[in-house]
Amino acid sequence: MTDSGPSPEAPTPSADTTPPAGTTPEDARPTRPRRRRGWSIAIVAVIVALVVGGLLGWGVGRLGATRAASSSGSSGNGNTCNAITVANEVLPAIVTVSAAGESGAGTGTGEFIRKDGYIVTNNHVISTAVPGGAISVLLSSGAHFPAQLVGRDPRSDLAVLKIDDGSSLPVVPWGKSSDLVVGQPVVALGAPLGLSGTVTSGIVSALGRTVPVPSDNGHNAILANAIQTDASINPGNSGGALVTCEGSLIGINTAIATVPNASGVSGGGSVGIGFAIPSDFAQAIVAQLIDTGQVTYPSFGISVAPIPPAAAEDLKVPGGLYVQSVVAGGPSAQAGIQAGDVITEVNGHAATSVDILTQTVMTTKAGEKVPVTYLREGQTHTTTVTLQTPAS
Protein backbone atom coordinates (compact mmCIF):
# COMPACT_ATOMS: atom_id res chain seq x y z
CA MET A 1 0.00 0.00 0.00
CA THR A 2 1.27 3.48 -0.81
CA ASP A 3 1.47 6.06 1.95
CA SER A 4 -1.60 7.28 0.97
CA GLY A 5 -10.36 -11.81 24.51
CA PRO A 6 -13.69 -11.96 24.89
CA SER A 7 -15.57 -11.20 28.11
CA PRO A 8 -18.79 -9.37 28.92
CA GLU A 9 -16.87 -6.71 30.81
CA ALA A 10 -15.08 -5.17 27.82
CA PRO A 11 -15.92 -4.57 24.17
CA THR A 12 -14.22 -7.11 21.92
CA PRO A 13 -13.50 -7.17 18.21
CA SER A 14 -16.11 -8.42 15.78
CA ALA A 15 -15.41 -11.73 14.08
CA ASP A 16 -16.54 -10.59 10.66
CA THR A 17 -15.51 -6.95 10.56
CA THR A 18 -12.75 -6.40 13.11
CA PRO A 19 -9.12 -7.50 13.15
CA PRO A 20 -7.96 -8.78 16.54
CA ALA A 21 -6.02 -6.29 18.62
CA GLY A 22 -2.37 -6.22 17.63
CA THR A 23 -2.81 -7.54 14.08
CA THR A 24 -2.04 -5.60 10.93
CA PRO A 25 -4.17 -4.93 7.88
CA GLU A 26 -1.97 -7.32 5.87
CA ASP A 27 -3.02 -10.38 7.84
CA ALA A 28 -6.39 -9.17 9.09
CA ARG A 29 -7.69 -6.46 6.78
CA PRO A 30 -11.39 -5.87 7.50
CA THR A 31 -13.71 -6.72 4.65
CA ARG A 32 -15.80 -3.90 3.30
CA PRO A 33 -19.35 -4.03 4.69
CA ARG A 34 -22.16 -4.56 2.22
CA ARG A 35 -24.30 -1.58 1.35
CA ARG A 36 -27.88 -1.58 2.58
CA ARG A 37 -30.54 1.03 2.72
CA GLY A 38 -30.65 3.20 5.81
CA TRP A 39 -28.68 4.96 8.51
CA SER A 40 -24.95 5.33 8.49
CA ILE A 41 -22.26 5.69 11.10
CA ALA A 42 -18.92 3.99 11.47
CA ILE A 43 -19.06 1.50 14.35
CA VAL A 44 -15.79 0.72 16.09
CA ALA A 45 -15.49 -2.42 18.23
CA VAL A 46 -12.70 -1.80 20.68
CA ILE A 47 -10.87 -3.17 23.65
CA VAL A 48 -11.04 -0.19 25.98
CA ALA A 49 -7.65 -0.91 27.54
CA LEU A 50 -6.03 -0.58 24.10
CA VAL A 51 -7.73 2.59 22.98
CA VAL A 52 -4.81 4.87 23.86
CA GLY A 53 -2.56 3.09 21.39
CA GLY A 54 -5.09 3.12 18.58
CA LEU A 55 -8.40 1.46 17.91
CA LEU A 56 -8.83 -1.51 15.61
CA GLY A 57 -11.98 -2.70 13.95
CA TRP A 58 -15.17 -1.31 12.62
CA GLY A 59 -18.47 -1.94 10.93
CA VAL A 60 -21.02 0.26 9.23
CA GLY A 61 -24.69 0.01 10.15
CA ARG A 62 -27.14 0.69 7.36
CA LEU A 63 -30.82 -0.05 8.07
CA GLY A 64 -34.19 1.23 6.86
CA ALA A 65 -34.95 4.86 7.74
CA THR A 66 -38.03 6.72 8.85
CA ARG A 67 -38.42 10.37 9.58
CA ALA A 68 -39.37 11.71 13.00
CA ALA A 69 -38.27 14.44 15.35
CA SER A 70 -36.90 14.20 18.83
CA SER A 71 -34.83 16.30 21.19
CA SER A 72 -33.65 16.18 24.74
CA GLY A 73 -32.55 18.98 27.01
CA SER A 74 -31.17 19.57 30.44
CA SER A 75 -30.79 22.66 32.51
CA GLY A 76 -27.24 23.89 32.70
CA ASN A 77 -25.06 23.02 35.66
CA GLY A 78 -21.38 22.47 36.23
CA ASN A 79 -21.30 19.25 34.20
CA THR A 80 -23.88 19.78 31.45
CA CYS A 81 -24.82 22.30 28.81
CA ASN A 82 -28.21 23.95 28.67
CA ALA A 83 -29.28 21.66 25.84
CA ILE A 84 -32.52 23.59 25.28
CA THR A 85 -30.59 26.74 24.43
CA VAL A 86 -28.11 24.85 22.27
CA ALA A 87 -30.91 23.08 20.42
CA ASN A 88 -32.73 26.35 19.69
CA GLU A 89 -29.57 27.92 18.34
CA VAL A 90 -28.00 25.03 16.42
CA LEU A 91 -30.78 22.73 15.17
CA PRO A 92 -31.85 25.10 12.35
CA ALA A 93 -28.40 24.55 10.80
CA ILE A 94 -28.54 20.72 11.02
CA VAL A 95 -29.72 18.70 8.00
CA THR A 96 -30.49 15.05 7.33
CA VAL A 97 -28.50 13.73 4.36
CA SER A 98 -29.79 10.94 2.12
CA ALA A 99 -27.65 9.29 -0.56
CA ALA A 100 -28.56 6.58 -3.05
CA GLY A 101 -26.74 4.85 -5.88
CA GLU A 102 -26.24 1.50 -7.59
CA SER A 103 -24.46 0.08 -4.52
CA GLY A 104 -27.23 1.00 -2.06
CA ALA A 105 -28.52 3.89 0.00
CA GLY A 106 -27.80 5.52 3.32
CA THR A 107 -28.84 8.32 5.63
CA GLY A 108 -26.71 10.52 7.84
CA THR A 109 -26.36 14.07 9.09
CA GLY A 110 -24.71 17.30 8.02
CA GLU A 111 -24.53 20.95 9.05
CA PHE A 112 -24.39 24.27 7.23
CA ILE A 113 -21.03 25.97 7.71
CA ARG A 114 -21.62 28.78 5.19
CA LYS A 115 -24.74 30.86 4.62
CA ASP A 116 -24.65 30.17 0.88
CA GLY A 117 -25.44 26.49 1.38
CA TYR A 118 -22.18 24.60 2.03
CA ILE A 119 -22.69 21.51 4.20
CA VAL A 120 -20.15 19.31 6.02
CA THR A 121 -20.81 15.57 6.41
CA ASN A 122 -18.89 12.26 6.38
CA ASN A 123 -17.65 10.67 3.18
CA HIS A 124 -19.15 7.31 4.21
CA VAL A 125 -22.60 8.96 4.41
CA ILE A 126 -22.59 9.88 0.72
CA SER A 127 -20.22 7.34 -0.82
CA THR A 128 -23.08 5.12 -2.06
CA ALA A 129 -24.01 7.95 -4.44
CA VAL A 130 -20.54 8.07 -6.05
CA PRO A 131 -20.51 7.91 -8.96
CA GLY A 132 -23.78 8.73 -10.63
CA GLY A 133 -26.14 8.56 -7.65
CA ALA A 134 -28.34 11.15 -5.99
CA ILE A 135 -27.86 13.12 -2.77
CA SER A 136 -30.58 15.14 -1.05
CA VAL A 137 -30.95 16.97 2.25
CA LEU A 138 -33.87 17.55 4.58
CA LEU A 139 -33.76 20.90 6.37
CA SER A 140 -35.07 21.51 9.87
CA SER A 141 -37.93 23.45 8.24
CA GLY A 142 -39.09 20.26 6.49
CA ALA A 143 -37.94 21.41 3.06
CA HIS A 144 -36.10 18.96 0.78
CA PHE A 145 -33.33 19.98 -1.62
CA PRO A 146 -31.10 18.08 -4.04
CA ALA A 147 -27.46 18.47 -3.06
CA GLN A 148 -24.33 18.81 -5.17
CA LEU A 149 -21.18 16.98 -4.09
CA VAL A 150 -18.49 19.67 -3.92
CA GLY A 151 -15.70 17.30 -2.90
CA ARG A 152 -14.88 14.38 -0.65
CA ASP A 153 -11.81 12.99 1.07
CA PRO A 154 -11.99 9.24 1.82
CA ARG A 155 -8.77 9.41 3.83
CA SER A 156 -10.25 11.69 6.50
CA ASP A 157 -13.90 10.57 5.96
CA LEU A 158 -15.05 14.11 5.24
CA ALA A 159 -17.22 15.48 2.43
CA VAL A 160 -18.72 18.82 1.45
CA LEU A 161 -22.14 19.28 -0.17
CA LYS A 162 -23.94 22.38 -1.44
CA ILE A 163 -27.56 23.30 -1.96
CA ASP A 164 -28.96 26.30 -3.81
CA ASP A 165 -31.67 27.67 -1.53
CA GLY A 166 -31.45 31.26 -2.67
CA SER A 167 -31.55 32.59 0.88
CA SER A 168 -29.13 33.20 3.73
CA LEU A 169 -29.05 29.93 5.62
CA PRO A 170 -28.36 29.36 9.34
CA VAL A 171 -24.86 28.08 10.11
CA VAL A 172 -22.95 26.41 12.92
CA PRO A 173 -19.89 28.57 13.65
CA TRP A 174 -16.52 26.82 13.78
CA GLY A 175 -15.02 26.41 17.23
CA LYS A 176 -11.45 25.54 18.31
CA SER A 177 -11.06 21.88 19.20
CA SER A 178 -7.57 22.66 20.51
CA ASP A 179 -9.24 24.46 23.43
CA LEU A 180 -11.19 21.38 24.56
CA VAL A 181 -10.44 19.71 27.90
CA VAL A 182 -11.44 16.29 29.17
CA GLY A 183 -14.67 16.55 31.16
CA GLN A 184 -15.97 19.54 29.21
CA PRO A 185 -19.73 19.32 28.48
CA VAL A 186 -20.77 19.00 24.83
CA VAL A 187 -23.94 18.44 22.79
CA ALA A 188 -24.41 16.18 19.75
CA LEU A 189 -27.04 16.96 17.11
CA GLY A 190 -28.19 14.87 14.19
CA ALA A 191 -30.52 12.20 12.86
CA PRO A 192 -29.76 8.95 14.72
CA LEU A 193 -31.80 6.01 13.42
CA GLY A 194 -33.42 8.39 10.95
CA LEU A 195 -34.84 10.61 13.72
CA SER A 196 -34.15 14.11 12.47
CA GLY A 197 -33.66 16.91 14.96
CA THR A 198 -32.28 14.78 17.79
CA VAL A 199 -30.18 16.35 20.56
CA THR A 200 -28.10 14.50 23.16
CA SER A 201 -25.65 15.83 25.73
CA GLY A 202 -22.57 14.53 27.50
CA ILE A 203 -18.92 15.34 28.06
CA VAL A 204 -15.59 15.05 26.32
CA SER A 205 -14.45 11.74 27.81
CA ALA A 206 -10.99 11.67 26.18
CA LEU A 207 -8.88 13.46 23.57
CA GLY A 208 -6.27 12.42 21.03
CA ARG A 209 -7.71 9.08 19.97
CA THR A 210 -6.60 7.47 16.70
CA VAL A 211 -9.50 5.54 15.18
CA PRO A 212 -9.43 3.56 11.91
CA VAL A 213 -12.82 3.49 10.18
CA PRO A 214 -13.95 2.02 6.84
CA SER A 215 -13.30 3.94 3.68
CA ASP A 216 -13.31 3.41 -0.06
CA ASN A 217 -11.74 0.46 -1.88
CA GLY A 218 -11.29 -1.57 1.30
CA HIS A 219 -8.87 0.94 2.82
CA ASN A 220 -9.15 2.65 6.20
CA ALA A 221 -9.87 6.28 6.88
CA ILE A 222 -8.15 7.60 9.98
CA LEU A 223 -9.77 9.79 12.61
CA ALA A 224 -6.57 11.46 13.77
CA ASN A 225 -6.55 13.01 17.26
CA ALA A 226 -10.26 12.27 17.50
CA ILE A 227 -12.51 13.57 20.27
CA GLN A 228 -14.08 10.85 22.42
CA THR A 229 -17.48 11.64 23.91
CA ASP A 230 -20.15 9.90 25.98
CA ALA A 231 -22.90 12.00 24.37
CA SER A 232 -25.18 9.37 22.87
CA ILE A 233 -24.65 9.00 19.11
CA ASN A 234 -26.00 6.16 16.97
CA PRO A 235 -26.22 5.08 13.34
CA GLY A 236 -27.46 8.13 11.43
CA ASN A 237 -25.50 10.62 13.55
CA SER A 238 -22.56 10.36 11.15
CA GLY A 239 -21.53 13.76 9.84
CA GLY A 240 -23.47 15.55 12.56
CA ALA A 241 -22.30 18.32 14.84
CA LEU A 242 -20.60 18.04 18.21
CA VAL A 243 -20.80 21.50 19.75
CA THR A 244 -19.83 23.37 22.89
CA CYS A 245 -22.35 24.86 25.31
CA GLU A 246 -22.01 28.07 23.28
CA GLY A 247 -23.04 26.26 20.10
CA SER A 248 -19.62 26.26 18.41
CA LEU A 249 -18.75 23.33 16.14
CA ILE A 250 -15.82 21.47 17.69
CA GLY A 251 -16.26 18.03 16.10
CA ILE A 252 -17.90 16.02 13.31
CA ASN A 253 -19.51 12.90 14.82
CA THR A 254 -18.22 9.92 12.85
CA ALA A 255 -17.84 6.65 14.75
CA ILE A 256 -19.11 4.73 17.77
CA ALA A 257 -17.81 1.79 19.77
CA THR A 258 -20.13 -1.17 20.31
CA VAL A 259 -20.04 -4.33 22.39
CA PRO A 260 -20.13 -7.53 20.31
CA ASN A 261 -22.94 -10.00 20.93
CA ALA A 262 -22.50 -13.57 22.14
CA SER A 263 -21.42 -14.61 18.64
CA GLY A 264 -18.72 -11.95 18.56
CA VAL A 265 -20.52 -9.83 15.98
CA SER A 266 -20.46 -6.07 16.46
CA GLY A 267 -23.56 -3.98 16.02
CA GLY A 268 -26.27 -2.11 17.83
CA GLY A 269 -26.23 1.42 19.13
CA SER A 270 -24.32 3.66 21.49
CA VAL A 271 -22.59 2.29 24.56
CA GLY A 272 -21.33 5.72 25.57
CA ILE A 273 -18.15 5.80 23.48
CA GLY A 274 -18.32 7.92 20.35
CA PHE A 275 -15.68 9.64 18.25
CA ALA A 276 -15.68 12.95 16.40
CA ILE A 277 -13.23 14.48 13.92
CA PRO A 278 -11.79 17.58 15.64
CA SER A 279 -12.86 20.89 14.14
CA ASP A 280 -9.36 22.33 13.74
CA PHE A 281 -8.47 19.48 11.39
CA ALA A 282 -11.89 19.30 9.72
CA GLN A 283 -11.94 23.03 8.96
CA ALA A 284 -8.65 22.82 7.05
CA ILE A 285 -9.86 19.82 5.02
CA VAL A 286 -13.21 21.46 4.30
CA ALA A 287 -11.50 24.63 3.07
CA GLN A 288 -9.46 22.60 0.55
CA LEU A 289 -12.55 20.71 -0.64
CA ILE A 290 -14.45 23.95 -1.20
CA ASP A 291 -11.53 25.64 -2.95
CA THR A 292 -10.30 22.77 -5.13
CA GLY A 293 -12.67 19.80 -4.71
CA GLN A 294 -9.86 17.62 -3.37
CA VAL A 295 -7.30 17.38 -0.56
CA THR A 296 -3.53 17.22 -0.92
CA TYR A 297 -1.44 15.67 1.86
CA PRO A 298 2.34 15.60 2.20
CA SER A 299 4.06 12.32 1.36
CA PHE A 300 6.85 10.01 2.55
CA GLY A 301 7.50 8.95 -1.04
CA ILE A 302 7.46 5.21 -0.32
CA SER A 303 5.29 2.16 -0.82
CA VAL A 304 5.09 -0.22 2.15
CA ALA A 305 3.37 -3.40 3.28
CA PRO A 306 2.89 -4.64 6.86
CA ILE A 307 4.92 -7.74 7.67
CA PRO A 308 2.67 -10.60 8.88
CA PRO A 309 3.89 -12.36 12.05
CA ALA A 310 4.79 -15.55 10.16
CA ALA A 311 6.84 -13.64 7.60
CA ALA A 312 8.54 -11.62 10.34
CA GLU A 313 9.57 -14.86 12.03
CA ASP A 314 10.97 -16.26 8.78
CA LEU A 315 12.89 -13.03 8.15
CA LYS A 316 14.04 -12.95 11.78
CA VAL A 317 12.78 -9.38 12.20
CA PRO A 318 10.18 -7.87 14.49
CA GLY A 319 6.94 -6.65 13.01
CA GLY A 320 7.11 -3.53 10.91
CA LEU A 321 6.51 -2.05 7.48
CA TYR A 322 8.44 -3.60 4.61
CA VAL A 323 9.57 -0.93 2.15
CA GLN A 324 8.53 -2.16 -1.29
CA SER A 325 9.70 0.84 -3.28
CA VAL A 326 11.08 4.32 -2.80
CA VAL A 327 10.37 7.33 -5.02
CA ALA A 328 13.65 8.44 -6.57
CA GLY A 329 14.67 11.79 -5.12
CA GLY A 330 11.66 11.75 -2.78
CA PRO A 331 11.59 12.47 0.96
CA SER A 332 12.46 8.92 2.09
CA ALA A 333 15.14 8.48 -0.55
CA GLN A 334 16.77 11.73 0.56
CA ALA A 335 16.69 10.42 4.14
CA GLY A 336 18.56 7.26 3.09
CA ILE A 337 15.70 4.75 3.23
CA GLN A 338 15.92 1.99 0.61
CA ALA A 339 13.66 -0.70 -0.78
CA GLY A 340 13.99 -3.79 1.39
CA ASP A 341 14.33 -1.85 4.65
CA VAL A 342 11.88 -2.56 7.47
CA ILE A 343 10.46 0.52 9.19
CA THR A 344 9.84 -0.18 12.89
CA GLU A 345 8.96 3.28 14.25
CA VAL A 346 7.51 6.48 12.81
CA ASN A 347 7.51 9.65 14.88
CA GLY A 348 8.05 7.60 18.04
CA HIS A 349 5.17 5.18 17.39
CA ALA A 350 5.48 1.50 16.53
CA ALA A 351 5.01 0.93 12.79
CA THR A 352 2.73 -2.11 12.92
CA SER A 353 0.21 -0.81 10.38
CA VAL A 354 0.21 1.44 7.34
CA ASP A 355 -2.24 3.55 9.32
CA ILE A 356 0.73 5.10 11.15
CA LEU A 357 1.90 6.64 7.88
CA THR A 358 -1.61 7.83 7.08
CA GLN A 359 -2.01 9.39 10.51
CA THR A 360 1.36 11.11 10.22
CA VAL A 361 0.74 12.71 6.82
CA MET A 362 -2.72 13.81 7.95
CA THR A 363 -1.37 15.63 11.00
CA THR A 364 1.91 16.94 9.56
CA LYS A 365 2.54 19.78 7.13
CA ALA A 366 4.85 19.67 4.15
CA GLY A 367 8.34 20.68 5.25
CA GLU A 368 8.04 19.18 8.74
CA LYS A 369 10.56 16.56 9.83
CA VAL A 370 9.51 13.08 11.00
CA PRO A 371 11.92 10.72 12.82
CA VAL A 372 11.95 7.17 11.41
CA THR A 373 13.64 4.02 12.75
CA TYR A 374 14.31 1.14 10.36
CA LEU A 375 16.19 -2.15 10.03
CA ARG A 376 18.63 -3.01 7.26
CA GLU A 377 20.47 -6.33 7.23
CA GLY A 378 19.77 -6.78 10.92
CA GLN A 379 21.13 -3.37 11.92
CA THR A 380 18.97 -0.60 13.41
CA HIS A 381 19.19 2.86 11.87
CA THR A 382 17.48 6.17 12.56
CA THR A 383 16.88 9.02 10.15
CA THR A 384 14.67 12.06 9.65
CA VAL A 385 12.27 12.32 6.74
CA THR A 386 11.20 15.79 5.62
CA LEU A 387 7.72 15.36 4.18
CA GLN A 388 6.96 16.89 0.82
CA THR A 389 3.87 17.57 -1.24
CA PRO A 390 3.79 15.07 -4.12
CA ALA A 391 4.47 16.48 -7.58
CA SER A 392 1.26 16.83 -9.57
Contacts of 88 (CB under 8 A, 6+ apart): none
Q: Pick the catalytic residue from 124, 177, 215, 232.
A: 124
Residue 12's alpha-carbon distances to 17, 66, 193, 233, 270, in angstroms, are 11, 30, 24, 19, 15
Cα dihedral 280, 281, 282, 285 in deg (nearest 10): 130
Amino acid present at 57: G
In angstroms, rounded to a whole number, what is the distance separating the alpha carbons of residues 85 and 176? 20
Taking residues 181-193, report their average pLDDT: 95
pLDDT band of 9, cuts 50, 70, 90 = very low
Q: What is the pLDDT of residues 214-228, one digit of tens each?
A: 887 777 788 989 999
pLDDT for 15 beyond 80: no
Q: Give the rounded percent of residues in the chain with a pLDDT score beyond 70.
A: 77
In angstroms, rounded to a whole number, what is the distance separating the alpha carbons of residues 29 and 182? 32
Q: What are 78's strand-pairing partners? A: none
Q: What are 161's strand-pairing partners? A: 119, 149
Q: Which H or E run contains 361?
A: helix 355-362
Q: Give the rounded percent of residues in the chain with a pLDDT score beyond 90.
A: 55
pLDDT band of 61, cuts 50, 70, 90 = very low
pTM: 0.74
Among 185, 282, 189, residue whose Cα is nearest residue 233 = 189
Residue 10's alpha-carbon distances to 83, 231, 294, in angstroms, are 30, 19, 39
Q: Would you call 238 a catalytic residue per the annotation?
A: yes
Residue 67's alpha-carbon distances to 33, 139, 312, 326, 345, in angstroms, are 24, 12, 52, 51, 48
pLDDT for 4 beyond 80: no
In angstroms, rounded to a whole number, what is the distance separating the alpha carbons of residues 196 and 200? 12
Q: Pick the catalytic residue from 14, 40, 127, 157.
A: 157
Contact between 247 and 172 (Cβ < 8 Å): yes
Q: Pick the catalytic residue from 177, 238, 266, 299.
A: 238
Contact between 210 and 233 (Cβ < 8 Å): no
Contact between 349 and 328 (Cβ < 8 Å): no
pLDDT band of 342, cuts 50, 70, 90 = very high
Q: Is the peptide bond before 170 cis (omega within 30 degrees of 0)?
A: no
Contacts of 194 (CB under 8 A, 6+ apart): 38, 39, 64, 65, 66, 67, 68, 96, 107, 236
Residue 328's alpha-carbon distances to 178, 339, 344, in angstroms, are 37, 11, 22
Q: Would you call 16 a catalytic residue per the annotation?
A: no
Contacts of 85 (CB under 8 A, 6+ apart): 76, 247
> Is 392 or 260 the better-scoring residue by pLDDT?
260
pLDDT for 78 beyond 80: no
Among 213, 216, 220, residue whose Cα is nearest residue 258 = 213
pLDDT at 264: 58
All structural domains of the chain, each given as residue ranges with its CATH number in brackets, are 5-295 (2.40.10.120), 302-386 (2.30.42.10)
Q: Would you call 165 a catalytic residue per the annotation?
A: no
